[in-house]
Amino acid sequence: MTDEKNLDLKRQEHILKVLKFLQEGGDFTKASILANKSKDMRMKIASVKGHPLNTLYAENDAIKNLINDQLLPDLKKWQQSGKNEILLNRIRDELLKLHKVNRHYKRKENSLFSFLIKYNLITERTTSSLWELDDKIRETIKAADEAVNSDPLPDIYVIEAKIEKAAHEVLQMIFVENTIFLPILGMLLTPEDWYTIKQDELEIGYTLIDNPTSWMPTKDDIDASNWQHDQIELTDEFKKAYGKFLKCYLSIDDEINGKADEIQVLNGAEDYPVGESENSPDLIFKDVEDTAIKMEIGSLSLKEIPAIFNVLQIDLTFVDKYDRVKWFSNTDRIFPRTRSVIGRPVIRCHPPKSIDKVLKILDDFHNGYADSSDFWVNVHGRMIYMCFYAVRDNEDNYLGCLETVQDITKFKKIMGEKTLENQDQFKK
């Protein structure tokens, strides 16, 4: 038995201890010994600067330091001082920083969960339950933030309870990630998987750390990992314990999904491949300049088609007839899009509270009840217009859904006319 396989089995044994501890009602605040042991058993890649696993641990350290070294001590001082305004402003700033945990969670939801699905550790339905847990934490942080910014301020004990609840839930999630979630990813994922995650990071951003250094796997990394990957196999005991933990941990599963077993999540095959590399077409044209596609009117080369998409100031996402994300444009996006969502059910790319609304839109498109559905929202002072279109062929067969997202802020300010003749008047 190789050293790597021995280490792998020890890691699994330790995670089993953590799972047992939690299932038996273990107190997260008394779990420091398990957390420290997990730190000692981390994969080597967790110490490589710029590697996504290193980044995830670094973010959790930064979040934990913000809570334990700043937020909670300042809360205690403020309580004892009799509502000192300087301390209160510090607490407000610290809660504002804590809101940035949203980026860390978004990367889990839109990137990391895809790989747990890929390696058959969770189902698509479970991702919604995990996402819901993140949403609950977001809500507790928001509630604490609103409490300290209310006028007049609530009772000091109300503020204390809200901040401590937010801090506890965030720290609890860090424990679960550091002792269970991230070690599992470290054991299972290949360098190619991590490189995809690295690209996804750049779309969403980071939480409380500077942008990490660039990283990409070398040929030696890939060769070594391929050999190690063949040695790694999760034991049946581990899989069973992990499944039992999820069932217990995600007690909100039925609450989130409602009648999830009764609804048809996908229109098409359940075994549709997941992940960008798995969805690559069989036919690839290398010399794109000389390959043209005849359109309904005229023709375009395979080089011109993506260039046209990329110059448009509109985000485009195409969801195929099976209701899975198939493609999105490579423009500067208003809302993040990660490569890991390619091939996933589109409803699992939305917050759980939106699933029933998305299903209704898609169902209407499939049944021919509607051809479009639009919305507009204010995002940090920008008016964003979103529209979903049913895409059909000439025989009215449903091909999929095209989502467009556009910043229309400047259009709302347009006055008069700008023509070829008077354009000089509009030059800055």
Which of 234, 273, 308, 311 is CA-nearest to residue 114?
273
pLDDT of residue 257: 42
d(CA 196, CA 216): 10
pLDDT of residue 243: 81
pLDDT of residue 387: 95
Task: Name residue, tokens 């809660």.
Answer: 95
d(CA 330, CA 409): 21
Side chain identity at residue 178, one-letter code: N
pLDDT of residue 231: 53
pLDDT classification of 159: cutoffs 50, 70, 90: very high
pLDDT of residue 3: 61
Query: Is 121 within 8 Å of 194 (Cβ atoms)?
Result: no
pLDDT of residue 401: 95
Helix (H) or strand (E) holding 356: helix 355-366
- pLDDT greater than 90 at residue 365: yes
Quick: pLDDT tens for 167-191.
999 998 998 899 889 998 988 888 8
pLDDT classification of 142: cutoffs 50, 70, 90: very high
Mean pLDDT, to the nearest integer, of 12-26? 77
**Peptide bond preceding 351: is omega within 30 degrees of 0, i.e. cis?**
no
d(CA 66, CA 105): 17
Domain ranges of the chain: 3-257, 277-413
pLDDT of residue 225: 62
pLDDT of residue 255: 40
**Mean pLDDT of the residues in the chain:** 83
Length of the chain: 428
Q: Which of 261-265, 299-303, 364-368 is the least confident region?
A: 261-265
Q: Which CATH architecture has domain 3-257?
A: Up-down Bundle (1.20)
pLDDT classification of 223: cutoffs 50, 70, 90: low
Give me the percent of the chain exceeding a pLDDT of 90: 39
Residue predicted with more confidence, 126 or 67 = 67
Give me the percent of the chain exceeding a pLDDT of 70: 85
Which of 51, 105, 126, 136 is CA-nearest to residue 344?
126
- CATH fold of 277-413: Beta-Lactamase (3.30.450)
Please name every residue paired with 403 in a beta bridge, in sequence order, or none if there are none. Answer: 317, 388
Select, from the ranges 132-136, 337-341, 408-412, the one with the highest average predicted confidence (pLDDT): 132-136
